Structure 1
Amino acid sequence: MALASQSVFEYANLSVGEPFYRMENYSAEGGDVSSSLGMSVSTKRLSARIAIDTWIAAGVNAPLTSPPSAEVLAFLRRAASRARRIAGICTGGFVLAEAGLLANRRATTHWAYARDMTSRFRDVRVEEDRIYIVDGPIWTSAGMTAGLDLALAMVEKDLGADIARSVARKLVMHQRRAGGQSQHSEMLDLAPKSDRVQDALNHARKNLSAPLTVEDLASAAHLSPRQFSRVFTQETGQSPAKAIEGLRLEAARLLIEKSRHSLEVIAQETGFRDRRHMREAFMRGFGLPPQEVRREARS
């Protein structure tokens, strides 16, 4: 998945009609390197003479139990002083941290390993619920598909929003995620087992501005309200009201982070009674008021 981020740069070249980016893979010793799936990846050996604009450290399926070699860490420190930017995808951030490149910086990583990063590197300001973070020339991302979001953000910075949108369309990326967006999806967390409950949730997501009573959701699922409430709770572990509030919060947070709409408009669009009601839900769900979420996103 870390290597898949190269497709973003490949399709950026196709969108601009010229080879703006050139990608190469490097390793400590060079030669063929086996991926976690067992596929062989051809690499060049790291050399102090290499002049590279952007370095990206790929992640592995778990944080390294032992740090990279002193040679690799020294190389990364030199590279950070010469390259325009350096990034760590997923647990690749641990490699940057071992090299001291994340000291006194904001960073993120795969949510499953964020606390491990916090405990191992006390000088890193880890934000475990972010898709990617840019702190000066240092970029870090969450795991798996978040590497695509990080690469797309680099393309947008280099070539503009129109090219980034073109790349996203070509790669069939359903939604370009902002760096401040949560790593977690409310719909994914609910994970209903039946199509009926999934249909009700899809109906809710498309009609968040509506009241969305249990009767409305039961009708979308073609069940009686009583039967729907029982099946919904069994399959998701939440009551319908709690799940709908989670969907409203997710949608409102995204609008707050990415749009310039007022909080009153966002509350109305996502089905909260008013701005005060939305604030109460934000405090329960995130421990922060909407204004603070917007300030963090803009900073």
Structure 2
Amino acid sequence: MNRSQAATGPLQVTVLVFPGVRLLDVTGPIEVFSSANDFGGRYRVRVVSSDGLEVTTASGTRLGVDMSVDRATGTSDVLVVPGGPEWDRLIKDDALLDQVRALHARSRRTASICTGAFLLAAAGLLDGRRATTHWRNARELALRFPAVTVDPDAIFVRDGTVVTSAGVSAGIDLSLALVEEHFGGEVARSVAKDMVVFMQRPGGQSQFSARARTPHTRQDALRRVLDAVAQDPGADHTLSAMARRASLSARHVTRLFCDEVGVSPARYVEQVRLEAAQALLESGDDPQAAIARRTGFGSPESLRRAFVRHLGVTPGAYRAGFRTTGAAHPAG
């Protein structure tokens, strides 16, 4: 599909929803396609459910729909199949899987969001294909569906007419790539700027937040240390400084990190500093030397080594990730 084809009329996007669907899996892509209409795109979005009735999402929010699956006639340019936390129940729902197959057969492109990949796999639509899903569920997808080649680190994977994306917000990345494919980079760039998101996130799912994945701890001393690192990544966070802050021995602090956080103190500090540097690269034009100082890396070379080691890209390439979705260079 290209821009000349898209110019003949609005592109039809069909989003399938069901009880227990994850809300952002649905609203993220809808927001991208709807916003694209403000910048030269032409999409018509419809939300369908099995019986045409509203559904209650995993968060408890009720979600209205436009019609039932059997009334969603005609060809869809994009079918969006979101996921949900109870994917293991959903893949046993034969009626739902039949609806996925039927909608797929009438669609030029089928896209899954997060654990929606399990629905596509259970429906037999990923057999012999490469695919991805949320990093936490990638191993399970590979074990349950050995006919699928699972890429656990990709943000999204395109294989023929099927596109699968990683966890939750990666559906926005996938949708932006489709907008660029349909209407060009300038439209997709405008949508990304309007939504204040990446055009293309470099690296893979290994970028997920160090602070977000840190488990809650009942250890007040460790909590103080973790909060101090998060609040000022550029401060002195050597092991001895952490030990003083926690009023514990360095050995005890190291043991707490390994037991409660799952990484060493030094590794955690570097992850948080990397995250802070990512945010600064995304949001402004500060020189890399200034970003290195502010985030505790000290020098541009130390900053570069950390980016290459953890993300596989340089800081400059990371910053450039806002400029394109990478639609011209499909993942995989």
Scaled by the length of structure 2, what TM-score is found?
0.62
Per-residue CA deviations over 1:167-189 (Å, capped at 9, x if unaligned) read 22222337842474436323433
TM-superposed CA distance for 1:75, in Å, is 0.4
Matched with 1:126 is 150
TM-superposed CA distance for 1:23, in Å, is 0.4
Match of 1:271 among 292, 295, 302: 302
Alignment partner of 1:39 is 2:62: yes
TM-superposed CA distance for 1:243, in Å, is 2.5
**Which range moves more in the overlay, 239-248 or 138-147?**
239-248
Alignment partner of 1:153 is 2:180: no
Match of 2:266 among 241, 245, 248: 241
Which runs of at least 4 in structure 1 moved beyond 4 Å after TM superposition? 190-199, 201-204, 223-236, 244-253, 296-299
Matched with 1:2 is 25
Letter in 2 for 1:24: R
Contact map agreement 1:133 1:179 (CA 8 A) in 2: no
Matched with 1:78 is 105
Match of 1:166 among 190, 193, 210: 190
Q: 1:55-204 maps to which residues of 2 (within 5 A)?
A: 55-65=79-89, 66-69=92-95, 71-79=98-106, 83-173=107-197, 176-178=200-202, 180-182=204-206, 184-190=208-214, 197-198=226-227, 200-201=229-230, 204=233
TM-superposed CA distance for 1:197, in Å, is 4.6
Query: Match of 1:25, SS?
Result: strand
Contact map agreement 1:85 1:138 (CA 8 A) in 2: yes
Contact map agreement 1:27 1:46 (CA 8 A) in 2: yes
Q: How many positions carry a matched residue from both structures?
A: 263
Per-residue CA deviations over 1:28-87 (Å, capped at 9, x if unaligned) read 3323333231404223122484211100112122214214326414404523xxx33111
Identity of aligned residues (%): 32
TM-superposed CA distance for 1:130, in Å, is 2.8
- When residues 185 and 278 of structure 1 are mapped into structure 2, their CA distance, relative to the original with a 3 A threshold, is closer
Contact map agreement 1:4 1:148 (CA 8 A) in 2: no
Separation (CA, whole Å) in 2 of partners of 1:98 and 1:183: 28
TM-superposed CA distance for 1:101, in Å, is 1.4
- When residues 200 and 45 of structure 1 are mapped into structure 2, their CA distance, relative to the original with a 3 A threshold, is closer
Separation (CA, whole Å) in 2 of partners of 1:111 and 1:50: 34
Query: Match of 1:182, SS?
Result: helix
Q: 1:220-299 maps to which residues of 2 (within 5 A)?
A: 234=256, 237=261, 238-246=263-271, 269=300, 271=302, 282=309, 299=332
**Which range moves more in the overlay, 186-195 or 25-34?**
186-195
Query: Match of 2:163, SS?
Result: strand
Separation (CA, whole Å) in 1 of partners of 2:141 and 2:301: 35
**Which range moves more in the overlay, 116-125 or 237-246?**
237-246
Letter in 1 for 2:85: N
Q: CA RMSD in A?
A: 4.4
Letter in 2 for 1:105: R
Query: Match of 1:139, SS?
Result: strand
Match of 1:30 among 52, 77, 88: 52
Considering Cα pairs closer than 8 Å and 6+ residues apart, tell me whether 1 or 2 has the greater RCO.
Answer: 2
Contact map agreement 2:141 2:150 (CA 8 A) in 1: yes
Separation (CA, whole Å) in 1 of partners of 2:44 and 2:183: 15
Structure 2 unaligned blocks of 5 or more: 1-23, 217-221, 279-298, 314-328
Separation (CA, whole Å) in 2 of partners of 1:181 and 1:113: 12
Letter in 1 for 2:181: K
Separation (CA, whole Å) in 2 of partners of 1:29 and 1:49: 14
Contact map agreement 1:59 1:88 (CA 8 A) in 2: yes
Separation (CA, whole Å) in 2 of partners of 1:245 and 1:92: 33
TM-superposed CA distance for 1:107, in Å, is 0.9
Structure 1 unaligned blocks of 5 or more: 254-267, 291-295
Separation (CA, whole Å) in 1 of partners of 2:35 and 2:73: 28
Separation (CA, whole Å) in 2 of partners of 1:202 and 1:270: 24
Scaled by the length of structure 1, what TM-score is found?
0.67
Query: Match of 1:22, SS?
Result: strand
